């Protein structure tokens, strides 16, 4: 997946400013894709050059001027082309797992410390995501298609983090056992 296609998806729903798009990344899209303010504006500039989006400058009094972006027909075609391509299962690049492999030549105590720090962080994220689910998606059968899909993405994040906590707990137990054998 690429950032421009996520932005095109947002603009397919409604026109938006760069600020609006960045805000979406800090809210519901942030569960599965991260992008900084600078990345969004850099991509919008590239997409303008490719004629995937157009923008209209709105002059405001007492506030900075703003640009409202709209997807073009060419942008819709680019989004459709991307969407029609088969999606490979995403390979995981996981620094934590790479460090776990290094435990054969490094102290497991440092890894156990990291796990002790990370498990509560993951549990906090799970609680935050569950709160969002309860507040925004409490009645799944009554949601429109956009909200149903957003809920499914949120559910994936909840389940992945729960599984990670379960796995990390097992890793910690095994590392502790390994330390006692040395």
Burial of 39 from C-beta contacts in 10 A (0-12 / 13-18 / 19+): middle
CA atoms within 13 A on the CB side of 92: 6
51: left (phi over 0), alpha (psi -120 to 50) or beta: left
| Helix 3-13 vs helix 73-84: crossing angle, to nearest 10 | 120
Note the Cα 96 to chain centre separation in Å.
18
Taking the C-alpha atoms of residue 86 and residue 18, their distance in angstroms, rounded to an integer, is: 29
pLDDT on residue 98: 86
Residues 35, 10: contact at Cβ < 8 Å? no
Residues in Cβ contact with 106 at an 8 Å cutoff, skipping those fewer than 6 apart: none
| pTM metric for this prediction | 0.70
Over its length of 182 residues, how does the chain's per-residue pLDDT go in tens digits?
588 998 998 899 899 999 889 888 777 676 677 788 899 999 999 999 999 999 999 988 888 889 999 999 999 999 999 999 988 887 777 888 888 888 888 889 999 999 999 999 999 999 999 998 999 898 989 999 988 988 998 999 999 999 999 999 999 999 988 765 54
pLDDT, residue 23, reads 86
CA distance 57 to 67: 4
Query: Could you confirm whether domain 3-84 is CATH 1.10.3720.10?
Result: no
Give one word for 19, left, alpha or beta, with left for phi > 0 and alpha for psi -120 to 50. Answer: alpha
Write down the pLDDT at residue 179. 61
């Amino acid at each position: 997946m690429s950032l421009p296609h996520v932005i095109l998806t947002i603009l397919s729903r409604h026109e938006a400013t760069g600020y609006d798009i960045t805000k979406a990344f800090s809210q519901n899209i942030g569960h599965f894709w991260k992008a900084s303010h600078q990345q969004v504006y850099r991509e919008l500039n590239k997409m303008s050059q490719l004629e995937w989006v157009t923008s209209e400058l709105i002059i405001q009094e007492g506030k900075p001027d703003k640009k409202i972006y709209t997807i073009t027909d060419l942008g819709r075609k680019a989004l459709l082309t991307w969407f029609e391509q088969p999606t490979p299962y995403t390979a995981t690049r996981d620094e934590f797992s790479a460090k776990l492999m290094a435990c054969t030549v490094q102290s497991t105590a440092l890894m156990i410390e990291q796990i002790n720090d990370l498990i509560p962080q993951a549990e906090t994220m799970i609680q935050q995501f569950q709160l969002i689910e309860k507040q925004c998606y409490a009645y799944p059968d009554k949601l429109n298609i956009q909200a149903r899909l957003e809920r499914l993405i949120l559910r994936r994040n909840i389940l992945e983090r729960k599984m990670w906590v379960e796995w990390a707990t097992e890793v910690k137990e095994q590392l502790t056992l390994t330390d006692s054998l040395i």
